[in-house]
Structure 1
Amino acid sequence: MGRALGEESFTDFNLQDLRRAHGDRLVTHQFTREEEAGNGADWEWWFHADGHGFGMRVQAKKAHKDGRYVLRRYTRSSMGRVLQSDRLVEDAAASGCLPFYVFYNHRNWTAAGDELAPADCDHTLADQRQMGCTLVSALVVQRAIVERMYGSSDHVKRHSIPWNRVLCDSTVPDVGSLNAVFDRVRALHRDGVLDLRQARERPEVYSYAVSRAEGVGRREPLAVPPDYGAPPPDLTDRPVYRAFGGLSDGPVRALPARVRQMISGDPVDPPDSRLAGAVLVDLADH
């Protein structure tokens, strides 16, 4: 109709459908947030039962017409431009959550293997429409950005799963319990950790020069590519990533006070100005 919908609109549609289908188990809490370029609908999911649970800080990203994602996005800050993925990771660590991306996809997208494909569950048969919303660790996205990876969209797709698989994975015993959901989410997070550990930071090795004589572009090398025979540095050893070890190891923890306040309906301020809202999913055995 002349203007493509943004991530915020798709997120609102999804939340509306989820509230309609699961209003007895799901509470949404929307914050008044600053309209910041490239925000991309930052929200938190909290899965909880009996005062315990875990959180996911989520960045929404829609696919372009050709199925690609624009992963290298920047947001404004007092220090200048900051990569959207870096800000997501930093905000997740500060708010006690694991960082993830949700991708909004076209119907022609297919999974890379059976493990990532649509699957039967107690609610529905396997359906290609399940690929419309997929989930991946933000650390997988960061590897693609750090390496300036050719085919970065294909790379993150290979690590993504339909988001309903977090709650409906028929291969996991006791599929609907809080512990089973946590195991599935932290398996995705650990996959991201392993992927980022393979990342090789590299400088720009080419610039684009235009030949006035021929009127065509020409690639000219500016620097020597790094030694790809050397082992990559462990980027996950940085403090911001070490913080996630305490969140992903061991059993689920007691909920933070601000999450308990949201569950009870009390007013609460968001941990930062970029958080658009929170989705609270009750997994207690009713």
Structure 2
Amino acid sequence: MKPPAKSLCKTFLELGDAVSRNLHLAYGSAISYGEETITESTLLEIWRRHSKIVKIRTFTKRQEARNGADWEWHLIGRKYTLKMRVQAKRLPKNTLQFPGLFTYKAKSAPHPQVDMLIAEAKRDRLLPILCFYSKESAKSRWRKSAMPSPYEAGCLIGPARKIQRHGYQDLASLEARCVPWHFLVCSQQGRSLFFPSVGKLNGRTQIRNGEIPSYIVPTDGYLFRPIREPEGEHGPIGLVTIDCRDL
């Protein structure tokens, strides 16, 4: 399978591959390669390569944000804009489980992290997403053979509500409810996803299944809406907007 030609799509493939390979190296060394480091270095590279269409705005540092790489992502299409709240988790060394996935709570937080992700995403009309960082050898479903050659899937994304409802913490079970993150910006025709494809955001195909959810908004109104910093102690670290109108 050849990699798609679109440059943003290729960037997501390359950076997901780099996360997988870097985790493999980090696990075999004394070097820490944590969630914040992965998220921030990856976002920096996306912006470096695509600064004309990618905007990154950071907010005041908050305690909750420092314990989960909690970001908002907005994908802007010609017709619709998809708004997401994304929380990242790195697979720990020497395990195929994400211990505490549903119970971890920051010291200053009133509730477990995943509960707050879902509740605050609902309040702010965002799609709550969990992003899992893992190395190639830990995966069973999204192995290199299931990816465009020669890439590894280091970043998997899944719907937080569904993941919490099923209650599994092992990577193999989580993989069944996730897709590689390049699906966000690559053309994925014929696939049924938990988020609209770039083609649907751009109006090339219809968004079906009844009423459009609150986390998908008309782009015309979105583009002229002022961006305000979230209120409260436990808001996101920042906002990533990607202009997908020419994809």
Q: State the partner residue of 1:21.
A: 49
**DSSP-derived class of the 1:280 partner:** strand
**DSSP-derived class of the 1:5 partner:** coil
Q: Structure 2 vs 1, CA of residues 50 and 139 (structure 1 numbering), >3 Å: closer, same or farther?
A: same
Q: Structure 2 vs 1, CA of residues 255 and 135 (structure 1 numbering), >3 Å: closer, same or farther?
A: farther
Out of 127, 130, 138, the residue aligned to residue 150 of structure 2 is 127
Greater RCO (Cα-Cα under 8 Å, separation 6 or more): 2
Out of 241, 244, 247, the residue aligned to residue 283 of structure 1 is 244
Quick check: 1:261 aligned with 2:226? yes
Out of 21, 33, 42, the residue aligned to residue 5 of structure 1 is 33
Out of 61, 67, 72, the residue aligned to residue 96 of structure 2 is 67
Contact 2:76 2:201 in 1 (8 A): no
Q: Structure 2 vs 1, CA of residues 167 and 33 (structure 1 numbering), >3 Å: closer, same or farther?
A: same
TM-superposed deviation, 1:44: 0.7
Q: Structure 2 vs 1, CA of residues 139 and 3 (structure 1 numbering), >3 Å: closer, same or farther?
A: same
Q: Structure 2 vs 1, CA of residues 103 and 76 (structure 1 numbering), >3 Å: closer, same or farther?
A: closer
Quick check: 1:138 aligned with 2:160? yes
Contact 2:83 2:126 in 1 (8 A): yes
**DSSP-derived class of the 1:44 partner:** strand
Contact 2:106 2:113 in 1 (8 A): no
Contact 1:140 1:156 in 2 (8 A): no
Q: Size of the alignment, in residue pairs?
A: 208
Q: State the partner residue of 2:121.
A: 92
Out of 162, 166, 174, the residue aligned to residue 184 of structure 2 is 166
CA–CA separation in structure 2 for the residues paired with 1:93 and 1:278: 17
Out of 36, 40, 58, the residue aligned to residue 68 of structure 2 is 40
Contact 1:55 1:97 in 2 (8 A): yes
Give the alignment's TM-score, normalised by structure 1. 0.60
Contact 2:81 2:222 in 1 (8 A): no
Quick check: 1:274 aligned with 2:235? yes
Structure with greater proportional strand content: 1
Misfit runs of 4+, over 4 Å: 180-183, 254-259
In structure 1, give the amino acid aligned to 2:154. G
**5+ long unaligned stretches in structure 1:** 120-125, 191-243, 263-267
Contact 1:51 1:260 in 2 (8 A): no
In structure 2, give the amino acid aligned to 1:72. F
Contact 2:78 2:202 in 1 (8 A): no
Contact 1:107 1:128 in 2 (8 A): no
The root-mean-square deviation of aligned C-alpha atoms, in Å, is 3.7
**5+ long unaligned stretches in structure 2:** 1-28, 192-196
**DSSP-derived class of the 2:86 partner:** strand
Give the alignment's TM-score, normalised by structure 2. 0.69
Identity fraction in percent: 25
TM-superposed deviation, 1:271: 4.5
TM-superposed deviation, 1:51: 7.8
TM-superposed deviation, 1:259: 8.0
